[in-house]
Structure formats: structure tokens, C-alpha cells
Amino acid sequence: MMKKLARVFARKTSMTPIDADVYFGYPTFFDPKYKQVHVSVTFTWDIKRGHDLKRQWGTVCNNVKIGGPAFDDPGSKFVAGRYLKKGITITSRGCIYSCDFCLVPKREGDLKELSIFPGHIIQDNNILACSKTHISKVFQMLKTQKRVRFSGGLDARLLKDWHIQEMRSLSIDELWFACDYPAAFKRLIPIAEKLKKAGFKRYQIRCYVLIGHQMEKESDRLKELYKLGFYPFAQLYRDGNDSIKYNTDWKEFQNIWSRPARYKALMKTNEKSHIPDCIL
């Protein structure tokens, strides 16, 4: 009997579904037959592989489609569990801002509120830009969930006291912010104080930090975030073609500042040992 839909992914990530109808490579003789195959490509540097997968799956299915964020797919609809692991939900698309370094406005356009599907991981690009009515409904849904994560990121410019009070009533695992430039750091100073007063611990308050430009300044920013009470998470900047090649110092820098156990030890001891001076 022919099955309905196979989803084929160009790259496996922590958010990729893992059910029986998910694939990451070419079809084999032993795979079930499908009426439709969707090839999903998240990163632009995987587009070539995505097209290769489409051709290969086209030999066993005559209805193969390719899409995903890499193709600027606006993703106006969200189907729980289809392209993201169960437990991850998206309740809005787009954003109210047009930051130069962000692809969201180009891909998804203006902010659009969607139907709310249950899930404990909120992956909206800017959930706090939504209306109070929508956010309140999301909080209500989250009261039924455990280990809640706002991994899509919380905009410090939009975080209000009532948001924090609602979050206190949830089973919060992680609250994620972003600090990619000096002005963003200044906004996080009062936020850190409010979250600590509300009872949130360091392991719950996390922050994405884009790196790859000036190591010394970025090192200072990461250390200051830690002192504020955040767990920073460094991410090396990658352009659309993944053409930037970073040396071993940069890779070691990123490795340290994406692993709490490593940078906690670094902050406590400040031992230089084999770590490049610029990292400290």
C-alpha cells in the first residue's frame, strides 16, 4: 500500500522530525512507496544537495516538491510535526522590524499571527511583537506544557512586566534572547535584573551572540553577559553561501562560548593555558 507523504531533509538538526516517514538521503529499494515527497532545505548552502535529493527521489515518486527556508519560503502555514520535531510550535510569522542582518523580513514579510498548536518549544521569530490577545492565548496553551522553551528568541525591546509575570506561572526551561551588537547589550541590563527578581536562574536565561568579526570586543561582550546572569551561546556568522572560512582560533573561541561548562571554568579561573589570549 502506498503511503501518503515522505519528508526528506538536506541536513539533520536538533529540530528535524524523527518519525518513520522522515529521510536524510537517497531512496533505497527497501523504502515504502509514497504518493508525495517533500524535500526540505533549511540552509542556503544545502540547496545543491536539496536539488540532488529531489532528482533521486524523483526516480521512485512522480510527485516530488522542494522548498524550505533556503528558498525564502514564507511558511505562512504551520503544520505541527511535519517539518519540525513534535513539541516545537510556531504561532506567528514575520516581524515588525527590518534589521539589516536578519533574513526574516525578506522571507516572511510583515508579522502574521497563526493558529496556535500545542507545543513546549516556541520557535516564533518575534513572539513578543504579536498582539496581547495572541500572546495571552500562547501563554494559556503553555500552561499545559512542561519544560517550556522560547528558543526562537525574545526581543528585549518588547518584553514587558506582564510577560515576565505570565512566564513565572509556566514550567520554564529556557528563555532565549539575542545580543549581536552593543545597543542590544544595554537593553539586556534591566531585563537581567527583572528576570532575576522574578526568580529565574542563570541556567534558564540564555542569549545568542553572533561572533566572527572582532574577537576581543566579542569576548568582552560574552563575559559581560555572563556577569549579568545569562548563559551566552556564541554562533559564528555564516553568509548565504557559507563562504567564510574561520581559523582554529575562531573555532576554539566559538566552542568555548557555546559550552557553559567550558566558559564557567574560564570565568572562575581565568587560566590562559592553551587558550589564545584574544579569547580571554
How many other C-beta atoms lie within 10 A of the C-beta of residue 166?
Answer: 17
Q: What is the pLDDT of residue 104?
A: 76
How many other C-beta atoms lie within 10 A of the C-beta of residue 260?
Answer: 15
On the CB side of 40, CA atoms within 13 Å amount to: 21
Ordered per-residue pLDDT tens for the chain, 280 residues: 789 999 999 999 999 999 999 999 999 998 999 999 999 999 999 999 999 999 999 999 999 999 999 998 887 789 999 999 999 999 999 888 877 767 776 778 789 999 999 999 999 999 999 999 999 999 999 999 999 999 999 999 999 999 999 999 999 999 999 998 878 999 999 999 999 999 999 999 999 999 999 999 999 999 999 999 999 999 998 887 778 899 999 999 999 999 999 999 989 876 444 444 444 4
* DSSP designation for 143: T
Q: Any idea where the domains of the chain sit in the sequence?
A: 3-69, 75-279
Which strand (E) or helix (H) includes residue 150? strand 148-150
Cβ atoms of residues 208 and 179 within 8 Å: yes
| Nearest one of 265, 277, 266, 160 to 216, comparing CA atoms | 277
